[in-house]
Amino acid sequence: MRDSTLKLSVGYAFLVAISALFLIPLVWMVRSALMDLSQIFVMPPIWIPHPFKWDNFTRALTTLPFDKFFVNTAVIVVLGVVGTVVSSTIAAFGFSRIQWKGRNLVFGILLSSMMLPGAVTLIPTFLGWKSLGFYDTYVPLVLPAYFGGGIFNVFLLRQFYMTIPRDFDEAAVVDGAGFFQIYYRIILPLSRSAVIVVSLFTFLGAWNDFFGPLIYLKSSEKFTLALGLQMFQGSYTSQWDLLMAASAAVVLPCVVVFLIGQKYFLEGITLTGLKG
């Protein structure tokens, strides 16, 4: 990409402006996490806490067993990401690189599951898991990842697989490769950036999901970080200072994972760039 200097600097200015806008929520959260409760909602907003209340973090993180929540969340997230990446990349291959009768119909039916509001399938789904004896376990939160990994991810990967030129497959077929080799040796490496996006989204989705754990868990020692954050809401008042401190601490790993994950996009460019 050879962009002119003028274009670059105009673009750069835009980027800085937009980034400033998109930073507001994080800044607000972090400064609230360091504030006295009485300062958080003052109008016009105070942006710099006075004094800095660092002990909000220790208070927030010791009020609830966040260490336990962290371990629970890590288990669910790791199992979920592994399952999703394996099963959604395989399924997407079947929906894009192999021509078979009824392919689009099956894909359409799977996609339709996103169109029915979850409110009305919640109870039947819950009853299904319960009748299998999986209430108050992580199974309902993790197992579906191994069966397709969500149609959103399959659809996303399918779109990327379909952009890879056929020549690659045909060359591989000449070399005697089967479908699985094509999937593993050619398509998977070439769609690396999409696979990273899927892993990132799955990680962040599972990390921040409180509704699934709320419905399928009952013992608080099995709770997750996201569900733990919900606990700061009181019946009449909410402890915003603690909520924001705990949120900031919980969100931090997401920021790190995202920073690392998106770096691989850049590598993705050179990779496909060279081969394409």
Partner 1 sequence: MKRSSKAFAFILIFLLTAAIALPACSSKSENPASSDGAGASSPEASQTSGSDELASNDPVTLRLTLWGSPGEVQTYQKAIDRFHQKYPNITVKLEHIPTDYDTKLTTMVAGNQEPDVAMMESGSIAFPLAEEGKFLNLQQFVDSDSELSADRLIPNISYYSEPGNLIGIAPGPETFSLYYNVDMFKDAGVTPPSAKAAEAWTWDQFVEAAKKLTIDENGKNASDPDFNPKKIKQFGVNGANGWWGPWSNFIFSNGGDFLSADGKTFGLNQPEAVEALQKVADLVNVHHVAPSPVQSKNVPGTNVALQTKKVAMVIDGQWANFDLSNTNVNYDVAPLPVMKTPITTVVCGMFSVFKSTKHPQEAWGLVKALLDPEGTLELNQKGLWMPALKSWYEDPSLIEKWTANSKGRTPGYQDAVIDMMLGYSHQTPTGYVKNFNKIMDIVNPALDKVWLGQQTAQQAMDAIAEKAQAQVKGRRDVK
Partner 2 sequence: MTTDILSTPAPARGKSIRSRERKALLYGLLFTLPATLGFILFTAGPMIASFILSLTDYNVFKSRTNFIGFDHYAVLLSGKDELFTKSLGVTFYYVVLKVPVTILISFAIALLLNMNVKGRSIFRTIIYLPNIVPAVATSIIWMWLLNPDLGLVNTALSWLHLPTGQWLYAEGSVIPSVVITTLWGIGGTVVIFLAGLSGIPDQYYEAIEVDGGGWRHKLLHITIPMISPTLFFNTVMTLIGSFQVFSEAYILTQGGPNNASLFYLFYLWRTAFRDTEMGYASALAWIMFAIILVFTLLVFRTAKSWVYYEGDERS
* Contact string (CB under 8 A) for partner 1, positions 6-45, x = contact: -------------------------------xx--xxx--
Burial class (CB in 10 A: 0-12, 13-18, 19+), 144: middle
**135 in contact with partner 1 (CB under 8 A):** yes
Return the residues of window 115-144 that contact partner 2 according to CB under 8 A. Answer: 115-117, 119-121, 123-125, 128, 143-144
Q: For residue 252, give the nearest of 212, 217, 208 by alpha carbon.
A: 208
224 contacts 69 by C-beta, under 8 angstroms: yes
188 contacts 195 by C-beta, under 8 angstroms: yes
Residue 57 or 201 having the CB closest to partner 2 = 201
Using the rule CB under 8 A, which residue among 135, 155, 184, 185 binds partner 2? 155
Return the residues of window 49-68 that contact partner 2 according to CB under 8 A. Answer: none
Binding partner at 58 among partner 1, partner 2, none, C-beta below 5 to 8 Å by kind: none
Using the rule CB under 8 A, which residue among 5, 38, 47, 101 binds partner 2? 101
Q: Which long-range contacts (CB under 8 A, 24 or more apart) does 127-132 make?
A: 129/216
Question: Can you tell me the distance from the alpha carbon of 161 to that of 184, in angstroms, rounded to the nearest whole number?
Answer: 12
Least distance from C-beta 185 to partner 2, angstroms? 15
**98 in contact with partner 1 (CB under 8 A):** no
**231 in contact with partner 1 (CB under 8 A):** yes
49 contacts 179 by C-beta, under 8 angstroms: no
Q: Per CB under 8 A, which region of 54-62, 65-73, 99-107, 217-225 contacts partner 2?
A: 99-107
Number of Cβ within a 10 Å radius of residue 143:
16
